[in-house]
A and B are shown apart, each in its own frame.
Chain A
Amino acid sequence: MRFWGSLAGLVLLVTGPVMAQDSSVLEASQRDFVERFLDATQPARSTVSQREIAADFLIAELERRGLVAERRPYLEPNVHPILDLIMPPFSGTNITASIPATRDEASLIVLGAHYDSEAGSPGADDNASGIAALISIAVNLSRMPERRYSVMLAFFDQEEEGKVGSQALVRQLLADKIDIHSMHSIDMAGWDSDGDGAIEIDAPDIWFARYQNAATRLEIPVSRASYDSTDHVSFRAHGIDAICLSEAFRAGDSSPHRHRSSDMAETLNHAYLAANTELMLAVLRDTLSGAAE
């Protein structure tokens, strides 16, 4: 099984845009990625050394796909100011890769997913699934002949500690006076036990309409939800349009393996993950080409 997944991944790398291929190839390549990512980072991506291994793996994967990856180390205050008197600051490393616009003075679209996991959990659904989806999307976008906006692929550290990595990145980007157009994230997108394919979206009105239109075209059922526990909230706190795609938490169809040692690659529904990927890709392609505006 792993051989066929690897072969599909290799075919994908050689032949071109992800979504130009059959969905089954996308599924296979994402399955292959998740399995290799979990193999490289087992038993978890939680401690400093485990997260360093994960960061090295991701940089190698991005560069293998022709994307120039960058480490962005950061220090952040503790969750509560009182703790700043006692504890050292959070320290971590976000991984980013930039895909430039094909016109000057373009604002930036951030694609984000966290790469850390809860202690003791391999984190296949939470959130290797999101990483796999965004890598596929980024490779596809990098091959568009024209892009109205720059794209930054961002893998956040320390989401499980309280969205620390995403808070650090948005602070760094705003300090650099980067004009952020919008932020799109995926967190836990590989569980669909009832097979209805339903995807939940937390998005501002205008973006929910765009995702809904794309979902109608792709025949994917979507519903609106509100989350405050993942990385898009860090961007929304600064007034930036931020969107999160996720499995059906509010509808009660989310992974029972979350934060457990059983959150393994074989528990994922890869066809469902591919549908999440295709939905976000469709919206971003429309946005980058100008069709959505």
Chain B
Amino acid sequence: MMRHFTTSLLILTLAAFLIRGIIYVALGSWLPLAWIVAVLAILGTARVLGRRHGQIAVKAWGVFLILYGVFRIGLATLLYFLPINSPHAMHHTGLVFVAISALYLCAGVNLVIARRDNFRLARAT
């Protein structure tokens, strides 16, 4: 059950970045799609190399999500206390932005912890 949840989280977070990438490609910006394609390629390659490599790659993705979430929350906090002269930035770094960032953060923590448990289980058996 927990494993299904973790897999779902992995797929959801990758899908979120993939959708972002597709939206930005339509606007002429390739970086978000290039990033997620690279991540998918690394995850896929690691999985092919073996289960342990796959788990390490997923854990790395979890660490990225933690850093991503923390960075976004930090950015929103900074802009709250030191507002800049960009209505776009100010408008899009409000409560919804922080809530979504917290979700990324929680998903990252879950991916890291879940995989660590799996390592322990694997060692014990």
Instruction: Determine the distance from Cα of A164 to Cα of B75 in the docked complex, in whole angstroms.
Output: 22
Q: List residues of chain B with CB within 8 A of the CB of A14.
A: none
Q: Are B24 and A84 interface neighbours, CB within 8 A?
A: yes
Instruction: Determine the distance from Cα of A164 to Cα of B87 in the docked complex, in whole angstroms.
Output: 12
Give 1 or 0 for each of B21-37: 1 = CB within 8 Å of chain A CB: 00110011111100100
Q: Are A77 and B28 interface neighbours, CB within 8 A?
A: yes
Instruction: Determine the distance from Cα of A76 to Cα of B88 in the docked complex, in whole angstroms.
Output: 11
Q: A76-B27, A84-B24 are in contact. Are A119 and B87 (CB under 8 A)?
A: yes
- Interface check A1, CB cutoff 8 A: no
Output the least CB separation between A54 and chain B (Å).
13
- Interface check B71, CB cutoff 8 A: yes
Of the residues B24, B31, B71, B91, contact of A89 by C-beta under 8 Å: B24
- Interface check B89, CB cutoff 8 A: yes
- Interface check A158, CB cutoff 8 A: yes
Question: Can you name the residue of chain B whose Cβ is closest to the Cβ of A92?
Answer: B88
Interface size on B, residues (CB 8 A): 21
The main secondary structure of chain B at its interface with chain A is helix
Q: Are A85 and B87 interface neighbours, CB within 8 A?
A: no
Give 1 or 0 for each of B74-85: 1 = CB within 8 Å of chain A CB: 010000000001
Output the least CB separation between A120 and chain B (Å).
9
Q: Are A48 and B71 interface neighbours, CB within 8 A?
A: no
Question: Can you name the residue of chain A whose Cβ is closest to the Cβ of B17?
Answer: A85
Give 1 or 0 for each of A32-52: 1 = CB within 8 Å of chain B CB: 000000000000001110000
* 8 cross-chain pairs, A with B, having the tightest CB-CB distances, nearest first: A77-B29, A81-B31, A46-B87, A77-B27, A84-B29, A84-B24, A84-B32, A47-B87
Residues of B within 8 A of A (CB): 20, 23-24, 27-32, 35, 71-72, 75, 85-89, 91-93
Residues of A within 8 A of B (CB): 46-48, 75-78, 81-82, 84-90, 118-119, 158, 161, 164, 171
Show 10 A/B contacts (Cβ-Cβ < 8 Å), sorted by A.
Answer: A75-B23, A75-B27, A76-B27, A81-B29, A81-B30, A81-B31, A85-B32, A86-B71, A87-B93, A90-B88
